[in-house]
Amino acid sequence: MISSETRICGLIGDPVTHSVSPVMHNAAFDFLGLDYIYLPFAVTKDRLARAVDGVRGLNIRGLNVTIPHKVAVIPFLDRLEPLAERIGAVNTIVNDDGVLTGHNTDAAGFLKALQGRGIEPKGKVVVLLGAGGAARAIAFALAEKGARLTILNRKQELDWAVELAGSVSSFSGRKVKALELNEPNLKAALVPADVVVNATSVGMRPNDGQSPVSRELVRQGLVVFDIVYSPVRTRLLSEAEQAGAVTVNGLDMLVWQGALAFELWTGAKAPVEVMRKEVARALGGTPFGGAVGAGERKTTSVALVGFMGAGKTAVGRVLAEKMNKELVELDSLIVEKAGKSIARIFDQEGEIVFRQLEMEVTREVAGRKNQIIACGGGVVLNKINIDRLKAEAVVVYLMASPEAIQERVVAGDAEVRPLLGDGDKSLAIRELLAFRQPFYRRAADIIIDTSRMGIEAVAEQIIAGLKRE
């Protein structure tokens, strides 16, 4: 209920129509029962000074600031928090009895998102694409944490990158290189890199078919952080995932920069998971960028899908234990029903009979509650199976790179892996995985890259993902 006591926060920018900050903050205020409201204000450049004065006049508690005002707003403020001063851009204003302080939570939000994935910047070689407002915040945040930076920006505005590299170098005492963003420079810069960050707007809707890094330059093990959040799964991230890179999306940063602003205004601990869920819903995807939002469904089971060797049974066992649910293995049920091994079913009766059995056991199991269902690798090929499973289960795709799969399955496993045949196993895995990948993605509510993770960690990540769903 809005009253004369209600504290007002908001966003100034031009445009503000597509911002998800109002849903994110209002959901967080509601969740904590705080008498606050968050409103978007479209403010053109010529009205910026009067808008900021209005913050004092109306005793508005605080604002977020977005394009095109992040730099222009600075002269109208009373104080700058040191990091915002260094960066030269403000994305959050706090009003304490008429004294306006400018903060930059983009920087800390970026670090929280990176560290939340277990990646510490200290000593890492980072390639930063872009030299705009967000890139400035990220460059200082990374330099402050001891990362080694190279900044690439397109030719027309290379001066911005040179200026940014100079400021960050003198602040950190470490040399920061600035290069033109082109294929040869990017290729060379990525050779020693641990992390690449896209802080350009390339790949953002409506240009979501574009990527600032060509597919061939992304390799397994590289951390690829795309701060673009619309769409959540950008082309860069999806190609990076296919190459076996570790990916971080812009949604995490968006939520964290919002959470930090929320804490500055309210003094309360931000309900980060509530904010994440609202933002994911508003952006039309799951927090993992999965295909279908399961948030509206009341599900008590989890179905694990993925290629052979993705760890469905091993993870399922740990998950069942942690969540106190029953583990059901579809392939074991098929073996029980047929009275023979899977290899033998394939040998004697062929794949079609196997798929029929698979469909039968899926139907029998799908409606039951409180199960962890470890599915066979090919369950996703039949949409009827997936629709049945989804009636009661969140579908989790355990992704793994071809190399990880080969390491996990090939040794002595041919008896139970009839689909790989007798030829070149590595080639067979690549081909079959390439064929099945779109089916797994389409089925998934949650996607987890297991390539470089242990079983416990995967199970924990699934539980965290389910909480967000």
Name the residues that contact ligand NAP, by CB under 6 A: 67, 106, 109, 130-135, 153-154, 156-157, 160, 181, 199-202, 204, 227-229, 250, 253-254, 257
Task: Provide the 10 A C-beta neighbour count for residue 300.
Answer: 13
- Cβ nearer to ligand NAP, comparing 112 with 388: 112
- Using alpha carbons, select from 17, 18, 90, 106 the residue that is nearest to residue 55: 90
| Half-sphere exposure (Cβ direction) of 391: Cα atoms closer than 13 Å | 14
Q: Where are the alpha helices (DSSP H) in 205-329?
A: 235-242, 250-266, 272-283, 312-323
Q: For the CB of residue 318, give the shortest distance to ligand NAP in the complex, in Å.
A: 32
Task: Provide the 10 A C-beta neighbour count for residue 233.
Answer: 21
- Cβ nearer to ligand NAP, comparing 297 with 468: 468
Residue holding tokens 């998800």?
Answer: 20
Q: DSSP for 320-339?
A: HHHHT-EEEEHHHHHHHHHT
Active site residues: 70
Q: For the CB of residue 252, give the shortest distance to ligand NAP in the complex, in Å.
A: 8
Torsion of CA 427, 431, 436, 440, to 10 degrees: 50
Residue holding tokens 């910026």?
Answer: 48
Of all residues in this chain, which one has the CB nearest to ligand NAP in the complex? 132
> How far apart, in whole angstroms, are the C-alpha atoms of residue 73 and residue 101?
11
Find out whether 248 and 223 touch, Cβ atoms under 8 Å: yes
- Cβ nearer to ligand NAP, comparing 139 with 393: 139
Q: For the CB of residue 192, give the shortest distance to ligand NAP in the complex, in Å.
A: 22
- Cβ nearer to ligand NAP, comparing 172 with 200: 200
- String of b and e for 39-74 (b: at least 16 CB within 10 Å)? ebbebeeeebeebbeebeeeebbbbbbbebbbeebb
Q: For the CB of residue 221, give the shortest distance to ligand NAP in the complex, in Å.
A: 23
Q: For the CB of residue 385, give the shortest distance to ligand NAP in the complex, in Å.
A: 36
- Cβ nearer to ligand NAP, comparing 261 with 443: 261
